[in-house]
A and B are shown apart, each in its own frame.
Chain A
Amino acid sequence: MVSTLTTAFADVVSSNATLRAFLRGLPGVDRVGADQRAAMLSTRSIKTTAKAQAIDLAIGMVDLTTLEGADTPGKVRAMCAKAVRPDPADPAAPHVAAVCVYPDLVAVAAEALVGSPVKVASVSTAFPSGRSSLDVKVADTALAVAAGAAEIDMVIDRGAFLAGDYRKVADEIAAIKQACGAAHLKVILETGELATYDNVRRASWLAMLSGADFIKTSTGKVSPAATLPVTLVMLEAVRDHRAATGRMVGVKAAGGIRTAKDAIRYLILVSETAGEEWLDAAWFRLGASSLLNDLLMQRQKLATGRYAGPDYFTLD
């Protein structure tokens, strides 16, 4: 059953016409209803033991990120140290899932993380706009993989998507997937530029059918970045895709998630939409930088009953 379905989906990506027919045939998303559902789920009240569980889970799902023109090897090394041991005062605090850097700094990160369970992720494909040729994007990816990236965060060609050239988007994803080799491919939809929830659902399916291991909301360079309703639509897509094909795809919410409270809202969304199987760093990630310190602060508050000032948490 699963294999015939997969074959059927292989036909879908074979041409622009079949892709359009398939993507436009997906059920629509009613914006008001999706917003309402996300808003209702964000009223869930997570206390005591559930909060402790959620904070540790969220720390372990963080892709600790620095994507600045001003990034240096020193900055990246410092961030890697923080990724492995986020709270020097408490060795029991979990490590984050990965660090995420530009391709030229992958080697620095890989060296700093040798022997640690923290993975190195690299953005690629002319991040964040994606405005370059496929050759350059493939080379960009190959560079990052060769330097030791275990995960690649690519951007889709939003221009092609909005112009209806779905095949171009699909081909690029497939080409980058090939360039990744064993590395995991996260496909950034940049939902802030896709604008409608219908587009978010279509782009999610397009990425999944083209080989994405993860679908990711945003680069963090465009506003709005991750939102709860957009993530809800993407979680519904991975859930439905698994039901149809048997293949599980992960989701990464990135950009604008700054507080532990925000992070917990995403976990609730995952738990009540895609289900508990996705509540794992292998299937859900939070792309963030400042979030980590708030998670650590709340973690300490929960354990000790007191808030330490921000000076007690390292800024790396």
Chain B
Amino acid sequence: MRFEYAPAPESRDVVEIQPSYGLFIEGRFTDGGGAAFKTVNPATEETLAEVARADEADVDRAVAAARKAFGTWSALPGAERAKYLFRIARIIQERARELAVLETLDNGKPIRESRDVDVPLVAAHFFYYAGWADKLAYAGFGPAPRPLGVAAQVIPWNFPLMMLAWKIAPALACGNTVVLKPAETTPLTALAFAEICVQAGLPAGVVNIVTGPGATGAALVAHPGVDKVAFTGSTRVGREIARTVAGGRKKVTLELGGKAANIVFEDAPLDQAVEGIVNGIFFNQGHVCCAGSRLLVAEPIQDELLAALRRRLATLRVGDPMDKNTDVGAINSAAQLARITELVEAGEAEGATRWSPACDLPERGYWFAPTVFTGVAQSHRIAREEVFGPVLSVLTFRTPAEAVEKANNTPYGLSAGVWTEKGSRILWMADRLRAGVVWANTFNRFDPVSPFGGYKESGYGREGGRHGLEAYLDV
């Protein structure tokens, strides 16, 4: 019997989106010097709000505000800073539903993910670093590690609020003040976070949020009053930032692109491996820097695994991100959709075989069906370049050594997955994979306790865990 799920839309009523938003500088919302820009819901192309564009003068004001606040904030006892962070974490939990809905509207990701993954991790990150604030002397960076000063933080659109948490929580715990620039297409939850800072009574100037396009971020990163630059985004922009700050005193952490291998051995737990492949590449529409975009499968189980994967993909629910049963939502922007489309066409032109499950995509909005390419060679663009979309490239291997060789044969090195029931093989592989995170029998699992970061062109520095403190301490 066919069991059709009736629409189960999450209510929008929990959020009140204002027609326009200003910049958040020194504890107040102010106008921006540049022309305001629109942020749209990628699932419907509806304009959600107008957002102020920060020009160089605004960036200057924000950095000055952060500098002014730094003296008092960094002089607070760690336990006092922790109180603010705990308060922020609790407010995030209290306003979880609102933040999840806002994130889904602005980003296009399914409400199930923003509700069950993003927002809980955001709260967890603040709770975790709140706990470190009064224990920095025991973190292994000397008896009295000092903060750096003003941190310039530029974050991407794929996990807007989560990336904000990864940046702001450790910075504040260590005694720094911040100026954060959210992505142009997803500024709304960062602005809601600004309200949360006010609600938590955070001293003015400790957190400043400037919205705008890439130029705003470039001005922020280049600002001479900044002591620390933290960036998550594309490798191309990461390179520009490295060039900008080269030769100066600014400390930099970059978390960039990836082309992760998800490696499935013959003795893998197959049903869970299929789930892991799905979660690896279709989670968040594949807009994940550590996505398992290359499936490396042992040749003897190739047919079995791909049959199981196709069967599973037929049950994926693609569509309205606000529906609680949606598994795959909208592509974040028209520009990203064009990029995915271009690479997928290149994949076909280069001779790989394209397959997608039958799915009805909505007419309005930016959509791309989950796609699997088989017959992919290492030389194909879809095996080398980051698609940043719901597109999986399937390659095969014969021996563990070949799996390692293919997995490492990329300029990136952010993450990898290993699927096998053999514990010794997991360790053997993890020793050899040049990736910042190696997941064993799981994929795309995050925890504030676990450091995250890349090898090679996936960036440098670590976020999360005790390691994440180092990026915000003068050590």
**Is B345 close to A, CB under 8 A?**
no
CB of A27 within 8 A of CB of B271, answer: yes
- CB-CB contacts of B416-432 with A at 8 A, as 1s and 0s? 00000100000000000
Q: Which of A30-38, A98-106, A122-130 contacts B (4 or more CB under 8 A)?
A: A30-38
CB of B6 within 8 A of CB of A51, answer: yes
The 5 lowest CB-CB distance pairs between A and B, nearest first, are A33-B272, A45-B8, A45-B324, A30-B269, A50-B6
| With known contacts A32-B441, A33-B442, A44-B5, A27–B275 Cβ distance under 8 A | no
CB of B3 within 8 A of CB of A34, answer: no
CB of A43 within 8 A of CB of B269, answer: no
- CB-CB contacts of B303-337 with A at 8 A, as 1s and 0s? 00000000000010000000011000000000000
Docked CA distance A46–B7 (Å) = 8
| With known contacts A57-B1, A276-B1, A47–B6 Cβ distance under 8 A | yes
Docked CA distance A49–B324 (Å) = 16
**Whole-angstrom distance from the CB of A303 to the nearest CB of chain B?**
15
**Whole-angstrom distance from the CB of B332 to the nearest CB of chain A?**
23
Q: List 27 A-B contacts (CB under 8 A).
A: A27-B270, A28-B267, A28-B421, A30-B421, A30-B442, A33-B271, A33-B276, A34-B271, A34-B272, A37-B272, A44-B5, A44-B325, A45-B324, A45-B325, A47-B6, A47-B7, A48-B6, A49-B6, A51-B6, A53-B4, A54-B3, A57-B3, A236-B271, A268-B3, A272-B315, A279-B3, A280-B1
**Is B112 close to A, CB under 8 A?**
yes
CB of B3 within 8 A of CB of A47, answer: no
Known: A30-B421, A50-B6. 15 other contacts (CB 8 A): A27-B270, A30-B272, A30-B441, A33-B271, A36-B275, A36-B442, A45-B5, A45-B325, A47-B6, A49-B4, A49-B6, A53-B4, A271-B3, A272-B315, A279-B3
Residue of A nearest to B7 (CB): A47
**Is B2 close to A, CB under 8 A?**
yes
CB of B6 within 8 A of CB of A29, answer: no
CB of B268 within 8 A of CB of A27, answer: yes
**Is A292 close to B, CB under 8 A?**
no
**Whole-angstrom distance from the CB of A49 to the nearest CB of chain B?**
5
A32: chain B residues at CB < 8 Å are 272, 441-442
Residue of B nearest to A277 (CB): B1
Residue of A nearest to B304 (CB): A27
Could you say which of A27, A54, A280 has the most chain B C-beta atoms within 10 Å of its C-beta? A27
CB of B4 within 8 A of CB of A50, answer: yes
**Is B116 close to A, CB under 8 A?**
yes
The B1-34 residues at the A interface (CB cut-off 8 A) are 1-8
**A interface bracket (residues with beta carbon within 8 Å of B):** 20 to 34
The A7-61 residues at the B interface (CB cut-off 8 A) are 27-30, 32-34, 36-37, 43-51, 53-54, 57
Would you call the interface of chain B mostly helix, strand, loop, or mixed? Answer: loop
**Is A79 close to B, CB under 8 A?**
no
A44: chain B residues at CB < 8 Å are 5, 324-325
B272: chain A residues at CB < 8 Å are 29-30, 32-34, 37
**Is A267 close to B, CB under 8 A?**
yes
Residue of A nearest to B276 (CB): A33
**Whole-angstrom distance from the CB of B112 to the nearest CB of chain A?**
6
B324: chain A residues at CB < 8 Å are 43-45
CB of A276 within 8 A of CB of B271, answer: no
Would you call the interface of chain A mostly helix, strand, loop, or mixed? Answer: helix
CB of B441 within 8 A of CB of A33, answer: yes
**Whole-angstrom distance from the CB of A220 to the nearest CB of chain B?**
26
CB of A33 within 8 A of CB of B315, answer: no
Could you say which of B272, B325, B421, B441 has the most chain A C-beta atoms within 10 Å of its C-beta? B272
**Whole-angstrom distance from the CB of A90 to the nearest CB of chain B?**
21
A27: chain B residues at CB < 8 Å are 267-271
CB of B442 within 8 A of CB of A46, answer: no
- CB-CB contacts of B433-448 with A at 8 A, as 1s and 0s? 0000000011000000
Could you say which of A33, A47, A57 has the most chain B C-beta atoms within 10 Å of its C-beta? A33
CB of B269 within 8 A of CB of A276, answer: no
B276: chain A residues at CB < 8 Å are 33
CB of B1 within 8 A of CB of A29, answer: no
**Whole-angstrom distance from the CB of A242 to the nearest CB of chain B?**
12
Residue of A nearest to B312 (CB): A272
The B439-467 residues at the A interface (CB cut-off 8 A) are 441-442
Residue of A nearest to B327 (CB): A40
- CB-CB contacts of B72-96 with A at 8 A, as 1s and 0s? 0000000000000000000000000
Docked CA distance A116–B141 (Å) = 78
CB of A46 within 8 A of CB of B112, answer: no
B271: chain A residues at CB < 8 Å are 27, 29, 33-34, 37, 236
B3: chain A residues at CB < 8 Å are 50, 53-54, 57, 267-268, 271, 276, 279
Docked CA distance A57–B116 (Å) = 29
A37: chain B residues at CB < 8 Å are 271-272, 275
**Whole-angstrom distance from the CB of A283 to the nearest CB of chain B?**
10
CB of B267 within 8 A of CB of A46, answer: no
The B175-220 residues at the A interface (CB cut-off 8 A) are none
A280: chain B residues at CB < 8 Å are 1
CB of A33 within 8 A of CB of B269, answer: yes
Docked CA distance A43–B3 (Å) = 16
Docked CA distance A45–B8 (Å) = 6
A49: chain B residues at CB < 8 Å are 4, 6
**Whole-angstrom distance from the CB of A256 to the nearest CB of chain B?**
22
B116: which of A43, A276, A279 is its contact (CB, 8 Å)?
Answer: A43
Could you say which of B4, B271, B442 has the most chain A C-beta atoms within 10 Å of its C-beta? B271
B5: which of A28, A30, A46, A279 is its contact (CB, 8 Å)?
Answer: A46
Docked CA distance A120–B271 (Å) = 35
The B269-302 residues at the A interface (CB cut-off 8 A) are 269-272, 275-276
Docked CA distance A53–B5 (Å) = 10
Residue of A nearest to B1 (CB): A279
- CB-CB contacts of B88-117 with A at 8 A, as 1s and 0s? 000000000000000000000000100010
Docked CA distance A47–B2 (Å) = 16
**Whole-angstrom distance from the CB of B130 to the nearest CB of chain A?**
27
A30: chain B residues at CB < 8 Å are 269, 272, 421, 441-442
**Whole-angstrom distance from the CB of B453 to the nearest CB of chain A?**
24
Docked CA distance A276–B311 (Å) = 13
B421: chain A residues at CB < 8 Å are 28, 30
B112: chain A residues at CB < 8 Å are 43
A272: chain B residues at CB < 8 Å are 315
**Whole-angstrom distance from the CB of A23 to the nearest CB of chain B?**
14
**Whole-angstrom distance from the CB of B1 to the nearest CB of chain A?**
4
Docked CA distance A37–B442 (Å) = 11
Could you say which of A34, A45, A49, A280 has the most chain B C-beta atoms within 10 Å of its C-beta? A45
Docked CA distance A112–B272 (Å) = 46
Residue of B nearest to A50 (CB): B6
